Homo-oligomer: A and B are copies of this chain.
């Protein structure tokens, strides 16, 4: 992996990653002439016992730009800069111009609940220069590079003691609110372990303390023995529709070994994990022969400098469709109770995905 660190004229950091060495002298562009202003703050939600971030400056952010302007395509005309330079990078990472966390963080207001500076970081990760591509369509070594990039971001962001958790994710498709269709994802670096990873961490810790083994490691073994819902079984990685799927086409992807995060993957594990990911995404797009929307989140150990033998890197993919033409809406029971109701059996949905061919070189 090759990397170059740059700074945009508006002060934001940018890092370019490539499989081959990058030339010297690359300039990082920005469509925004002015330095970053505004900034977010946190407020404590007393009833749920969690933080919420408020970034009112985000209301001005880019929204469904006309098709002729793509801020994630390389800058070809210096008079009309985009977010990324015209250089032979494979993956580009830069600070979000309208971050929910980090950036220029003002002192928080004095309110009737505790408040705090919204420290942290929101990064945009451009997966490829090709706006027509998709993550699943990229070559295997390009996907593996992305996993290495996520590891590099996690290590670098997590080295800041104010960062407690790093979450790489991709929202794909207009159905999940995506406004820029150039293949990209995001990395959020949180100043706390957020509620969902916090809960999962607590459950995993209790299991590990009681059984001396990882919860997901044990679950993966059970899924493999059962076999009914497996989508990929490689030498080092697996993908399957979990027996407890909360979304009809939910898939989990993980290394077989309980690795706490991307940075701890061995080369062979990373390649096989990339192969598992690419297989799932090709199956998704092949299912109805159209781009398949999803939310994909990669859970890792908190970045608190501690060993986390209970943590096991994995992705959860949550597609919004129930069937080809029906969306699953999260409503009363899912959002207000946190109790998910499924109309489909994971075994049936796994069978649909198993039957989609995904030919990898």
Given A47-B204, A199-B49, A332-B194 contact (CB < 8 Å): no
**Is residue A116 within 8 Å, beta carbon to beta carbon, of the partner chain?**
no
Is A337 within 8 A of B46, CB to CB? no
Is A63 within 8 A of B297, CB to CB? no
> Which B residues lie within 8 Å of A219 (CB)?
46-47, 112-113
Is A344 within 8 A of B56, CB to CB? yes
Interface flags, A151-191, vs B, CB<8A=1, else 0? 00000000000000101011100001110000000101010
Alpha-carbon gap, A270 to B336, bound state (A)? 23
**Is residue A67 within 8 Å, beta carbon to beta carbon, of the partner chain?**
no
Q: Which 4 A-B pairs have the closest CB atoms?
A: A177-B329, A297-B336, A195-B338, A169-B332
**Is residue A32 within 8 Å, beta carbon to beta carbon, of the partner chain?**
no
Is B46 within 8 A of A203, CB to CB? yes
**Is residue A331 within 8 Å, beta carbon to beta carbon, of the partner chain?**
yes
Q: Provide a sorted-by-A list of 23 A–B residue pairs whose CB atoms are within 8 angstroms.
A: A44-B244, A46-B203, A47-B204, A49-B200, A49-B203, A50-B338, A50-B339, A52-B339, A53-B341, A54-B342, A54-B346, A55-B341, A56-B344, A56-B348, A58-B341, A59-B344, A177-B327, A190-B337, A195-B339, A196-B336, A295-B331, A316-B336, A330-B330
Smallest Cβ distance from A295 to chain B, in angstroms? Answer: 6
> Which B residues lie within 8 Å of A51 (CB)?
339
> Which B residues lie within 8 Å of A216 (CB)?
47
Is A342 within 8 A of B52, CB to CB? yes
**Is residue A82 within 8 Å, beta carbon to beta carbon, of the partner chain?**
no
Smallest Cβ distance from A113 to chain B, in angstroms? Answer: 5
